[in-house]
Structure 1
Amino acid sequence: MNIATGTLNKLQGLERLYRQGFHSEIIDRTIDKLLDMESHRARKEQRELEAHLAAYESQYQISSKEFYRRFRAGELGDEMDFVEWSIFYELHRVILERIEVLGTSTQ
């Protein structure tokens, strides 16, 4: 069993306990703290990715969204800058999804 599977099994076990009426302030505070820490880490990563995207947008005078659409449509070449830019754009989308999930988890 890998670490992710083990963690998921533990979380599912806690969910079962909580659905049965179990409650622990220690677990509640710990989970809140973990989610808060992960949210801060994700937002830091978001800012770093946005700095990379802004640099490419400035250099090529096009938004990342428009660049990505054109890149995926094959309208642009496959030079290294474009490949890197597309990777940063995809990572940025993933991190925004993670932040959204973490935000709903902490509410």
Structure 2
Amino acid sequence: MGVLVELKKLQQVVESFGSNPLIEKTIRKLISLRKQELKRTLRHLSEEIRALEQRYQLSSSDFQKRYAEGTLGDDVDLIKWASFLDMQQRVQAQLEYLEK
């Protein structure tokens, strides 16, 4: 079964019968582990992006502008850079959501 189905079952159990310390502790631990994983991913992406900024002597904001305009070409590094920036944004959004 999918994760969402399992979570829905758990939600229904908690709503019907109340929570218990094991469920609460397990959920907090899973969220904590996911946040740690996201932070590691962000560090890795930041390192990759920083290396590309240094290699091309270009900030990521300038890169994004020029890439969107189509003035940089389609070198593999540039495609990776755009992908890293997109991934960074999505990972950051997930982390911010979990830290609410």
Fold-level match, TM-score > 0.5?
A: yes
**How many residues in Structure 1 have an aligned counterpart in Structure 2?**
100
C-alpha separation in 1, matches of 2:69 and 2:39:
30
Per-residue deviation, 1:80: 1.4
Moved more, 46-55 or 68-77: 68-77
Gaps in structure 1 of 5+ consecutive residues:
none
Of the three residues 33, 39, 44, the one matched with 1:37 is 33
Quote the sequence identity (%).
29
Find the counterpart in structure 2 of residue 11 from structure 1. Answer: 7
Per-residue deviation, 1:75: 2.1
C-alpha separation in 1, matches of 2:91 and 2:72:
25
Is 1:76 the counterpart of 2:72 in the alignment? yes
CA deviations 1:30-66 (Å, max 9, x no partner) are 0100110111011011000000000111122222122
Per-residue deviation, 1:21: 5.7
Query: What does 1:1-107 correspond to in 2, within 5 Å?
Result: 6-20=2-16, 22-104=18-100
Matched to 1:42, the amino acid is: L
Moved more, 40-49 or 74-83: 74-83
Per-residue deviation, 1:10: 1.2
Q: Report the secondary structure of 2:99's partner residue.
A: helix
